[in-house]
Amino acid sequence: MEPLPLPYLLCSLLILLHTPTSKSQPIYVNCPTEANYTANSTFQSNLNLLLSSLPSAAAPSGFYNTTVGRNGADQVYGLALCRGDVSSADCNACLTTAAQDAVAKCPRGMSNTLWYDNCMLRYSNNSFFGIADSSFWEYMWDGQNVTDPQQFDDQLGQLMNNLATKAAYGLGRPPLFAVGEVKFTSFNNIYGLAQCTWDLSPADCYECLMTNIGRIPQCCSTKMGGRIFGKNCVVQFESAPFYKLAAPPTPQSNGTSTVTPPRPAGSVQNTGKGGSQTRGKDTGGKSKSLSLVDSPHCGICYWGVVGNSN
């Protein structure tokens, strides 16, 4: 039997890459290996109780955080967040998958954070509620390049800065969430999203979002789409609609100044000019790891990770 021609094999591989599955896969799993629990321990029982309760508790509003267990080493702190535009049913489905994957993909781990397209789930043996943590960040980018990088960066910077302000300090529902769009060309728009976990203060949310926005030139320069997320917030932009809410277009610049809240200390401004700043501990001497992933919001995406995973 003659071997199949190479073009046929490549086409088959692409079909497999883009064949939808019945169960969504995590975009990223952060499972530190420093602390592990013992099988059949009190901590494991508390973790199982936490994971079984988070999906239904978070689904109605899109967010929930709680603690299971008495004071001490066996306590488990958990948090669940769904993207602000998904339905309660989709939120519950995503978090149910996350709860099942949490133990399977991080066996015996006492701390874990999982990100999906529609939700994130986090738990730890240490309290993290209300604490802004930028010790690591992950990113994905679309493999396609923009045709006019300068114009794209200018419009993208305007859009994302406005969304950070709107998410952190706006009065929209759900809280700490914003989506919007801005015109790129006569036929194309840029669509953006900014979201924080609800346990953050508005100032910490704004700082988290602006820090991630400042990383866009570093991770996703000239790309038509990108996503940057960590333990507290996420920013995302695409060249096609990817959220379900009807968002009014972000106002175009008309030569007048826009008043924005004072930038918290340590936050980052995205100038849209290709420069970026990151905190020293973000990189920590760690190397970036790159991998090919499949996402419904870009044809073929790549992801990488920078920083510590503690």
Domains 23-124 and 136-254+261-307 share a fold: yes
Tokens of 152: 């794209």
Q: Show the tokens assigned to 229.
A: 């997320």
> What is the fold of 23-124?
Killer Toxin P4; Chain A (3.30.430)
User: Which residues lie below 8 Å from residue 133, measured CB to CB, with a gap of 6+?
Assistant: 230, 231, 232
* Angstrom distance (rounded) from CA 213 to CA 227: 10
pLDDT at 281: 34
Q: What is the mean pLDDT of residues 223-241?
A: 94
Q: How far apart are CA 212 and CA 130, in angstroms?
A: 18
Structure tokens at 38: 């013992």
- pLDDT at position 172, please? 83
Mean pLDDT of the chain: 78
Res. 248 pLDDT band, cuts 50 70 90: very low
For the chain, the structural domain boundaries read 23-124, 136-254+261-307
Closest CA to 236 of 221, 247, 225, 250: 225
At residue 83, the pLDDT reads 96
What span, in angstroms and rounded, lies between the C-alpha atoms of 112 and 104?
11
pLDDT of 261-295, one tens digit each? 433 333 333 323 222 222 323 333 222 333 334 44
Q: Which residues contact 93 (CB under 8 A, 6 or more apart)?
A: none
pLDDT in tens, 32-74: 988 899 999 999 999 999 999 999 999 999 999 999 998 888 9
136-254+261-307 architecture in CATH? 2-Layer Sandwich (3.30)
Please give the order of strands across the beta sheet that includes 136-142: 177-183, 189-196, 233-238, 226-229, 136-142, 298-307, 291-295
Q: Which of 154-163, 167-176, 275-284 has the lowest mean pLDDT?
A: 275-284
Contact status, residue 134 vs residue 125, Cβ threshold 8 Å: no
> pTM here?
0.75
Q: Range with the lowest mean pLDDT among 57-61, 76-80, 132-136, 141-145?
A: 132-136
Give the per-residue pLDDT at 143: 85
Question: Tokens standing for 259?
Answer: 């008043």
Specify the amino acid at residue 12: S
179 forms beta bridges with 193
Stretch 152-167: mean pLDDT, rounded? Answer: 96
Give the residue among 103, 98, 87 at the shortest CA–CA distance from 120.
98
